[in-house]
A and B are shown apart, each in its own frame.
Chain A
Amino acid sequence: MSVAEAPRSDASGRGAAFSGAEGGEQLTIVEPLIFDASRPERRAVRFPEASDAARTAASGQPELPASVRRDRAPRLPEVSELDLLRHFNRLAHLNHAIDLGFYPLGSCTMKYNPKVNEWAARLPALADSHPLDPEALSQGSLELMWLLAELLKEISGFPAVSLQPAAGAHGELTGMLMTRAYHRDRGEGEQRTKVLVPDSAHGTNPATATMVGYEAVTIRSNPRGGIDLEALRGALGPDVAALMITNPSTLGIFEDQIDQVLAAVHEAGAIAYMDGANLNAILGRFRPGAAGFDVMHFNLHKTFSTPHGGGGPGAGPVGVSERLEPYLPRPMVVLADGDPDAVRRNAWVGRSTPEARFALDDDRSKSIGKVRSCYGNFGMFVRAYTYIRSNGGDGLRTISDDAVLAANYLRVRLADAYDLPYDRVCKHEVVFSGKRQKREHGISTLDMAKAILDHGIHPPTIYFPLIVEEALMIEPTETESLETLDRFVDVMHGIAETAATDPEAIRRAPVTTPVGRLDEAAAARRPDLRHAFPADPGDAPGAPTAAPTPEAPTA
């Protein structure tokens, strides 16, 4: 950035959140980069000095040779702790978040993240547990993982669960690698080259198929929003490795012919993969493993309420049927000594089982191997376990009942204002189309999403699923009150009305946010992906002291 547009942050609060929003200057910055606040000598943390004894002892050992030493220190910011805190607190003020307001982002299950889960994840004996500590020192961590897997097995109806994958897409990768290992073991690895994916699927499904070397084949949906059974049967054959299906689908619709879908897939010798992204809709109502699916990933950050963290971390455990169990990633947490029934019984009433010993079983000859270092996003396991135990079986069932109730309530309340391409009972989310507003008033779904922002509400997922024109995918979740839902209905009605009466006002939106609509095309055309430090005087002589102009790529 040029000098003209970079007001120096003095950490006093000038340049703070929102202060630039109404200034009307040509070039304003909402919050300067932390690099702009940097001043030599300032710092937030100091570390101890090595003792003389340590230095003396170390001096007998080989020194770091000059050939590996860097000649210039990295230009990290030099700020006080207060500078640091204010900077990040001001940035925090620029975010919308569940803890601030309604966040009906479809397919993401933005429900409340209970705080006791955070308390649990920060317990020092869990947070400071080293993954390679001897097993005898890590019995608590291992027991927690074992118990969580037991609960996920019960919830999903799968006989085995691995917690290792770090996110939903990572679980998909794991599931597809197991699928391939299974077919190879049966001598059908070469012939089965295709993975069937409905046209309503998340983009991760076809991308995963490619990563595993499969060809993704799209299966169309039927007019009711379900998978087209005839198209599916036509595509199934000895060259198909698996069907990847999201159920309920990304239209928020339960696949009401799922029993026939599963039968057809199995008849063709293929694996039935369920994307469990939408499990929040069906807890206690449908257990995919018991129903006949071979493999499913869970999204602990969705259904089991671990915070989304601005994009992660999540956790994507996989549940599998008996026939895929040998291929699960290694290691697996096992109960090496003790009676599993007794351990579960005791844990459910908060007791330890003295004779129980948990271990990591790496001796799995058919395993696909490791998909991640260590054993998974353990901190997410702690939160999910806490959440499941807090809710209990009855609470989990209530979660899905209320999530489905809320989505259907929005479905009927908004059906007068927006087109509903699949007008039937939905599950956890409902997908509207903004095509009426687009056709009649020239207002796109993007325009409406931006208008929603001005009401302090995060917009729904837009333009997804791809099979719905101008899609608005709304997932209210079970933790939003009726008042919140009603307010959202009012906001959406108001926007539909304004689209008709004053479309220009919608096109101007948002006007209350820290920045207006950003030029994404320019961002992609001239990528500026990192801070350009002013050139060092010692660098190339004559180099400009300011960073390149925005017209020049930064790197």
Chain B
Amino acid sequence: MTYSPHTTADRAAMLAAIGVASVDDLFDDIPQAVRAAEWVVPPPLTEQAVRTELSRLASRNRIPEVSFLGAGVYRHLVPAVVGEVIGRPEFATAYTPYQPEVSQGTLQSIYEFQSLICELTGMEVASASHYDGATATAEAALMACRLTRRTRVAVSAGVNPDYRRVLETYCSGPGVEVVTVPVDLADGGSGTTLPSTASGAVDDSVACLIAAQPSFYGQLEPMRELADVAHAAGALFVAVVEPTSLALLTAPGDDGADIVTAEGQPLGIPASFGGPYVGLMAARMSSVRQMPGRLVGATRDARGRKGYVLTLQAREQHIRREKAASNICTNQALMALAATAYLTAVGPEGLREVAELSTIQARHVASALEDAGLGERRFSGPYFAEVAVSVPDAARRHAALAERGVVAGHLLERDEPALRDTLLLAATELTTDDDIARLVQALGETM
């Protein structure tokens, strides 16, 4: 199967126009010594055969019947209309809107996306998207370094460990040192970043303090106090948030955040084994010129018609080259459109329902496990929609349950050795009472 439209006659006509005998002549400029030898790429498949092959691979996956797995990626309802919108070929098969006159659909939808993200986060400017929450957070740290002219960043250990790994990698580039602020992991402790601990780590060499709300462990962090700690040292405060939680939780902009980042996956994007997702970033207008990523702004044409363009491009690599704020070019525009359609579909009431149901069901899970004597909450204090539960012999049970189609959350010892025998259980609006009963029963049977 190829998608070439050319007939034998077409090819002959083009070769004749060019004045060469064969297409091979067009590759004469490749030095003999480095021309490709034979390769072993399998033969073409018909659509029928390729469907069979992809169905074979899909059938090798097992989607669990019941899952409490989150840990940064959440299974939410993706309204059918969201798939309809991003499936429109006018959005899907366009590229970066460099010619605004024929890209108003993409540009306006990005402007709406930026507006929605500002409204959710309480910030003044949002970028058009980043690869994911982790890279957005890493870019925010580098942005803070540029803004403060400092070369160290402090990150709470309550930030998703994957984000911290990516942060380390990005910071290793320009030689920025990453300091980790421990969280209170004591049994029955708060599971949060203590302002007193943070204050010991943040001094006048630190560009920013990064903390997550809710934390990776689901716990609610004292964001305002942490922002104060950062600001007292002249550092910026970077808040990593979970977007559906913002229906209920204080907008980070009101908590003193200078930069907000998030993984936008919960907003209408399937888990898809890790991507594509969308990184969100929002900031203050005063720092916009150090912000990485594309921005869309409103303007007018000569006849006064309102329209949208890519703007403030003097920050970007195609203009500034080695002096650019970032090397980012291709972003996650179609996923930003999914988030825009999702937030429009659910509206303020729908997002509140998602957040409330998620937090109620997370409590329901914790309560059901405690009542059945199967586990105890690892931390004290409030949590949002994910809860750490101590369960004896957790790794063995987790594996045993998976065989029965129940994924009992995330094994925290994979990321934090101090949290042995601890499951991180997530709930969303898709979590039913039956799912919880099934978890309790299955876990009970492994006791």
Contact A311 B311 (CB under 8 A): no
Q: Of B41, B94, B124, B399, which is within 8 A of A393 by CB?
A: B41
Interface residues on B, range: 35 or more
Contact B50 A482 (CB under 8 A): no
Contact B102 A528 (CB under 8 A): no
Could you tell me which residues of chain B, from 246 to 293, have a CB within 8 Å of some CB in chain A?
Answer: 246-251, 254, 263, 270-277, 285, 288
A470 at the A/B interface (Cβ < 8 Å)?
A: no
Interface residues on A, range: 35 or more
Contacts A155-B41, A167-B131, A374-B162; A425 near B26 (Cβ below 8 A): yes
B156 at the A/B interface (Cβ < 8 Å)?
A: no
| Shortest Cβ gap from B200 to chain A (Å) | 24
B367 at the A/B interface (Cβ < 8 Å)?
A: yes
Q: Of A24, A309, A392, which is within 8 A of B334 by CB?
A: A309
With the chains together, A95 CA to B119 CA distance in Å? Answer: 26
With the chains together, A119 CA to B47 CA distance in Å? Answer: 11
| Residue of chain B at shortest CB distance from A53 | B433
Could you tell me which residues of chain A, from 382 to 440, have a CB within 8 Å of some CB in chain B?
Answer: 382, 385-386, 388-396, 398-399, 401-402, 404-406, 408-409, 411-413, 424-425, 427
Contact B57 A140 (CB under 8 A): yes
| Shortest Cβ gap from B30 to chain A (Å) | 5
Contact B344 A453 (CB under 8 A): no
| Shortest Cβ gap from B337 to chain A (Å) | 7
B149 at the A/B interface (Cβ < 8 Å)?
A: no
List the one stretch of A63-71, A318-326, A493-501, A535-543 in contact with chain B.
A63-71
With the chains together, A211 CA to B14 CA distance in Å? Answer: 44
Please report the number of residue pairs spanning A and B whose Cβ atoms sit closer than 8 angstroms: 746
With the chains together, A500 CA to B354 CA distance in Å? Answer: 62
Give the top 5 A-B pairs by smallest Cβ distance, nearest first. A374-B274, A309-B334, A392-B44, A140-B60, A393-B41
Contact A45 B350 (CB under 8 A): yes
Contacts A85-B84, A284-B39, A378-B275; A167 near B101 (Cβ below 8 A): no
Residues of A within 8 A of B381 (CB): 62
Could you tell me which residues of chain B, from 102 to 126, have a CB within 8 Å of some CB in chain A?
Answer: 102-106, 108-112, 114-116, 118-120, 124-126
A555 at the A/B interface (Cβ < 8 Å)?
A: yes
Contact A203 B251 (CB under 8 A): no
| Residue of chain B at shortest CB distance from A129 | B273
| Residue of chain B at shortest CB distance from A313 | B276
Contact B348 A308 (CB under 8 A): no
Contacts A88-B88, A374-B162; A132 near B71 (Cβ below 8 A): yes
- A sample of 23 inter-chain contacts (CB < 8 A) reads A27-B304, A33-B108, A35-B115, A47-B353, A70-B251, A76-B343, A76-B344, A94-B105, A133-B402, A137-B63, A141-B57, A257-B31, A262-B34, A310-B337, A311-B330, A312-B331, A313-B333, A348-B42, A373-B135, A373-B163, A374-B273, A378-B274, A405-B6
Contact B56 A60 (CB under 8 A): no
With the chains together, A555 CA to B75 CA distance in Å? Answer: 34
Contact A129 B272 (CB under 8 A): yes
Could you tell me which residues of chain B, from 296 to 349, have a CB within 8 Å of some CB in chain A?
Answer: 296-309, 311-314, 316-324, 326-335, 337, 341, 343-349
Contact A213 B94 (CB under 8 A): no
Contact A459 B341 (CB under 8 A): no
Contacts A132-B71, A166-B135; A58 near B5 (Cβ below 8 A): no
Could you tell me which residues of chain B, from 189 to 248, have a CB within 8 Å of some CB in chain A?
Answer: 213, 220, 223-224, 246-248
**Which of the listed residues A29, A120, A131, A376 has the most CB atoms from chain B within 10 Å of its own CB?**
A131
Q: Of A76, A103, A427, which is within 8 A of B346 by CB?
A: A76
With the chains together, A177 CA to B173 CA distance in Å? Answer: 7
Q: Of B20, B108, B126, B246, which is within 8 A of A31 by CB?
A: B108
Q: Of A99, A126, A368, A519, which is within 8 A of B272 by CB?
A: A126
Contact B307 A92 (CB under 8 A): no
| Residue of chain B at shortest CB distance from A520 | B309
| Shortest Cβ gap from A85 to chain B (Å) | 6
A365 at the A/B interface (Cβ < 8 Å)?
A: no
With the chains together, A202 CA to B329 CA distance in Å? Answer: 10
